[in-house]
């Protein structure tokens, strides 16, 4: 991974007191760890470890906790995924896959994930560690299958203000 790309969700930015904020907000609502886990669709042990300070949450979990517990920016500097114009890795990579004429099965094979996992990723239902880690693209095989030079090239496409130019380039590469 090149250093020229700004990481959107660096786990190193997670404040040490995040678990206390989550626990206090959960208790203020009278919820058990099990209830909160159900609300944000994780295992209860994830909430337990988070509150104890032994778990660094993913961006997906942070945003789910912010929404469910009405907490403002648990991790300062992380973008709000609901903001208009925020990059959508899954959606954009689905467009790239379709531009290349790849089936979901073929793309999943190149990424080293199941078709179901790739489907969830493309529908923005959470980052997939085999494709995105700590907010950055990491899967060169998937990038190559989609027509990108490498994972950094694929990430630049996802962050681009004009994805149409990239898609035209991908289509032309097949021509």
Give residue 107's pLDDT: 92
Domain count along the chain: 2
Q: Report if residue 77 sits inside a domain.
A: no
Q: Report if residue 76 sits inside a domain.
A: no
Together in a domain, 100 and 158: yes
Q: Report if residue 98 sits inside a domain.
A: yes
State whether residue 15 is helix, strand or coil.
coil
Over the stretch 44-67, which tens digit does the pLDDT of each residue have? 999 999 999 998 887 778 878 887
pLDDT cut 70: percent of the chain above it: 82
Together in a domain, 59 and 115: no
Cβ proximity of 21 and 36 under 8 Å: no
Residue scoring higher pLDDT (8 or 112)? 112
Together in a domain, 64 and 121: no
Mean of the pLDDT values across residues 142-157?
A: 88
Together in a domain, 61 and 100: no
Give the lowest-confidence range in 26-35, 61-70, 101-110, 133-142.
133-142
Q: Report if residue 144 sits inside a domain.
A: yes
Together in a domain, 47 and 19: yes
Together in a domain, 93 and 170: yes
Contacts 24+ apart (CB under 8 A), 127-132: 127/58, 127/59, 127/60, 127/89, 131/89, 131/93, 132/89
Q: How far is CA 47 from CA 61, 62, 63, 76, 124, in A?
A: 10, 11, 14, 20, 22
Cβ proximity of 22 and 61 under 8 Å: no
Q: Which of 63-72, 102-111, 134-143 has the highest mean pLDDT?
A: 102-111
- Full domain range(s) for residue 116: 89-174
Give residue 24's pLDDT: 94
Residues in the chain: 175
Together in a domain, 52 and 109: no
Instruction: Name the token pair of 38.
Output: 């159900």
Over the stretch 87-119, which tens digit does the pLDDT of each residue have? 568 888 888 898 888 899 999 999 898 988 888
Is the pLDDT confidence value at 7 over 70? no
Give residue 98's pLDDT: 87
Q: Report if residue 2 sits inside a domain.
A: no
Together in a domain, 99 and 147: yes
Is the pLDDT confidence value at 133 over 70? no
Q: Give the pTM.
A: 0.51
Together in a domain, 96 and 19: no
Together in a domain, 168 and 94: yes
**What CATH number did the domain enclosing 19 receive?**
1.10.260.40
Instruction: Name the token pair of 148.
Output: 């990108």
């Amino acid at each position: 991974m090149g250093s020229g790309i700004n990481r959107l969700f660096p786990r190193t930015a997670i404040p040490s007191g995040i678990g206390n904020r989550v626990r206090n907000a959960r208790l203020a609502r009278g919820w058990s760890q099990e209830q909160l886990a159900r609300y944000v669709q994780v295992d209860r042990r994830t909430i337990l470890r988070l509150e104890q300070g032994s778990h660094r949450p993913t961006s997906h979990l942070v945003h789910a906790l912010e929404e469910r517990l009405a907490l403002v920016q648990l991790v300062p500097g992380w973008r709000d995924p609901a903001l208009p114009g925020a990059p959508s890795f899954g959606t954009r990579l689905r467009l790239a896959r379709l531009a290349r004429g790849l089936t979901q099965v073929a793309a999943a094979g190149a990424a080293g994930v199941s078709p179901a996992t790739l489907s969830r990723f493309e529908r923005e239902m959470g980052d997939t560690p085999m494709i995105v880690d700590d907010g950055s693209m990491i899967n060169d095989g998937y990038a190559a299958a989609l027509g990108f030079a490498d994972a950094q090239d694929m990430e630049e496409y996802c962050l681009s203000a004009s994805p149409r130019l990239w898609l035209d380039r991908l289509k032309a590469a097949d021509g």
